[in-house]
Structure 1
Amino acid sequence: KPLHYGTLLGSRACVHMAAAAWATGFLNALLYTANTFSLPLCKGNALGQFFCEIPHILKLSCSHSYLRELGLIVVSACLAFACFVFIVVSYVQILRAVLRIPSEQGRHKAFSTCLPHLAVVSLFVSTAMFAYLKPSSISSPSLDLVVSVLYSVVPPAVNPLIYSMRNRELKESIRKVMNVCFSKAVMN
């Protein structure tokens, strides 16, 4: 009963879930940091990025101990995949529950609540997947920089905009601005 989470999950369960998420993230970051600082760097310590990401640091390593980092990347990828599967399964259950709502207005309200969250999550997951799973043949420092900014800055920046699209006044304001811009573009 995914739409009954307010009554099924108490504050204690929410605290446990939040603590588990924070602890997992902290442990993952701690392991990455400890392993990264233990790598000997023989190609200097300057990155061509302003993000200090693991793949770029591994390129600077001169030892074969980068296999430890690679192991951590695999563990993190498995953790990320598990989270992704959990999100997909949750949305499938929510979709099934929404489709069982008898009134059209109730289904519309439920979809309008879920779709913004799904849009933000999809934007983050798709850009992060592209950043880490793109073939090395198309990798370049400038593309890496753009993709890093894309997945770390864009989703949090558009998050308020996506969620506020349910606001009728905001929709009208955006529609007016788009009409003015379109009118000026047509006139030129």
Structure 2
Amino acid sequence: MTWWNWTSDADFILAGLSSDERIQTFMFVIFLLFYLISLCGNFTIIVTIWSEHKLHTPMYFFLGNLSFLDICYSSVTVPKLLLGLAGGSSEISYRGCMAQLYFYVSCCSTECLLLSIMGFDRYVAICDPMHYTIIMNKPKCLQLAVGLWLVGFTTSVIHTTFTARLPYCNSHRISHFFCDIPPMLELACSDTFLNKILILTAGGFLGLSSFLLTLVSYIQIILTILKIQSNIGRRRAFSTCASHLMVVIIFFGSISFMYMRPTSSYSLKQDQLVSLLYAVVTPALNPIIYTLRNKEVKFALKKKINQRLNSTYLWKHYILAFFKEFG
């Protein structure tokens, strides 16, 4: 039986997180809250950066890219998860599954590269501030942004193609809440050695090189910060990269656990928990982390909120004056 004949008359079934209706209701509320926080928080950061001229710098340009990526990231998996928890269909078509796999891997690969570029940006800003505007000028930032998105989506084409070519005839049930490569390989009824090698080489090279570049950048940043004589200067320099460092640790830590380990150690419960961390929780935490620890973003947000409140007050004043005049 070929994979084409198999997929023509059957869909995949996502196992989800739990079969207990009470737990499902609780999870639905929690994950819906995380999803709304992710959408609202990241969208707010994008609008704030776009509308505030003082934030039109390389650092915030890449932060805007990260916020947009987090919206895409969570939107690939969370809506289907919420539908299943709300009692909807747990089935997903073959094409829908491959599309979800493609966009998920694309976002994951792109974020690896984006976090490393953000780390390099902080390295140049702190370790070589005199040449920062030359190295991280607007054209180069645009080229880097376009390049990392292209590499991320191209890498995903390779993984998705090699996953789609497998014959899936062992079972219809995917032991996960979305279509990911490891649980998909568990369903294949042919040799998946090439796919596993691809994960460790192509995926491993992308993730490992991104992590090493970020690690080297932060080693240089820390060494430079320690040389600063002023305590205030050290705190100010560290505060500009502390938020990004927290995001890097959470993201690369969870990704490494998922994909840089032997497939024999695959555990459904553990992998679901880790997947929830970087696919659901992290996109919601990123805007909170960056906003709470970034004075410029907080100031810009307060400024926009005050402008909105003042605008609303003026409109109310004009409306009341109108009714008093003509009422």
Q: CA RMSD in A?
A: 2.3
| Residue of structure 1 in register with 2:306 after alignment | none
Q: 1:24 to 1:38 in 2, by over 3 A?
A: same
The normalised TM-score by structure 1 is 0.79
Choose 1 or 2 for highest CA Rg: 2
| Residue of structure 2 in register with 1:115 after alignment | 242
| Residue of structure 2 in register with 1:69 after alignment | 195
Match of 2:293 among 141, 166, 169: 166
| Residue of structure 1 in register with 2:217 after alignment | 90
The normalised TM-score by structure 2 is 0.47
Match of 1:140 among 247, 267, 272: 267
Structure 1 position 12, deviation (Å):
1.5
Aligned to 2:196, what secondary structure does the other structure show?
Answer: helix
- Do the aligned partners of 1:117 and 1:163 also contact (CA within 8 Å) in 2? yes
| Residue of structure 2 in register with 1:126 after alignment | 253
Aligned to 1:63, what secondary structure does the other structure show?
Answer: coil
Are 1:105 and 2:195 matched, yes or no?
A: no
- Do the aligned partners of 1:2 and 1:93 also contact (CA within 8 Å) in 2? no
Are 1:151 and 2:273 matched, yes or no?
A: no
Q: Which amino acid aligns with 2:124?
A: P
Q: Which amino acid aligns with 1:163?
A: Y
Distance 1:77 1:85 in 2: 12
- Do the aligned partners of 1:41 and 1:62 also contact (CA within 8 Å) in 2? yes
Stretch deviating more after TM superposition (2-11 or 127-136): 127-136
| Residue of structure 2 in register with 1:13 after alignment | 140
Where structure 2 has 5 or more consecutive residues not aligned to the other structure, the ranges are 1-122, 299-327
Structure 1 position 135, deviation (Å):
6.2
Aligned length: 168
Identical amino acids, percent of aligned pairs: 38
Distance 1:47 1:2 in 2: 45
Aligned to 1:40, what secondary structure does the other structure show?
Answer: coil
- Do the aligned partners of 1:116 and 1:163 also contact (CA within 8 Å) in 2? yes
Structure 1 position 133, deviation (Å):
4.3
Deviations 1:112-132 (A, max 9, x none): 111111011101111222233
